[in-house]
Homo-oligomer: A and B are copies of this chain.
Amino acid sequence: MNASQSETPQQILERLGLALPPVDDDPHYTNARESAGGQIFISGQLPYRDGVLPMSGRVGAEVSVDEARDLMLQATLNGLAVAAHATGGLDRVRMIQMLAFVNAVDGFEQQSRVADAGSNLLTDVLGDDGRHARTAIGVASLPRNSAVEVQFICEARR
């Protein structure tokens, strides 16, 4: 599903029953950093929801693939909030790259399926501006034993 011409990204989010979380401007932590050339690097996002991780553990053990997809969607939503904040609004975001980490058991093979949940959100909400290069890997551990983490690079639409 792509963004239709008659809906704004914000309207699409609402139709999907989603809302961007508030972005903290903690002076000790940089959510996003812009280069002189206008690329915006977004810090690694964990799937916090209302300030807590809904679930933790390794995918393939304590966390199922479907649960990991829900967590990846949440982490991507958090990254989208930072991107909207940094560019001046959700309708100004152009995604460039996504680097997805899955805290998985040895031999786990479905990193792409987990990452798809985040990729799909981006293209559903932003249409062509949500398309991105992507790399998905499995890792041995993540901060706070989070099941997923995701990093984005974006820019403001020209």
Contact = CB atoms under 8 A, between A and B. Distances in A.
Q: Is the interface of A mostly helix, strand, loop or mixed?
A: strand
A19 to B, nearest CB: 23
A136 interface: yes
Given A107-B145, A141-B105, A143-B109, A135 B38 contact: no
Number of copies: 3
Given A35-B96, A36-B158, A43 B111 contact: no
A31 B32 CA distance: 25
Contacts of A35: 37-39, 96, 153, 155
Contacts of A101: 137
A78 B95 CA distance: 23
Interface string A106-128: 11111110000000000000000
15 contacts: A30-B134, A36-B155, A39-B39, A41-B96, A41-B153, A44-B135, A101-B137, A104-B140, A107-B141, A107-B145, A110-B143, A111-B143, A112-B143, A136-B143, A137-B139
Going nearest first, the 9 A-B pairs with the smallest beta carbon separation are A138-B141, A44-B135, A37-B37, A41-B133, A140-B140, A33-B133, A41-B97, A108-B141, A43-B133
Given A137-B142, A138-B139, A140-B140, 17 more contacts: A30-B132, A31-B133, A33-B131, A35-B37, A35-B153, A35-B155, A41-B96, A41-B132, A41-B133, A99-B151, A105-B141, A107-B145, A109-B144, A112-B143, A137-B141, A137-B143, A138-B142
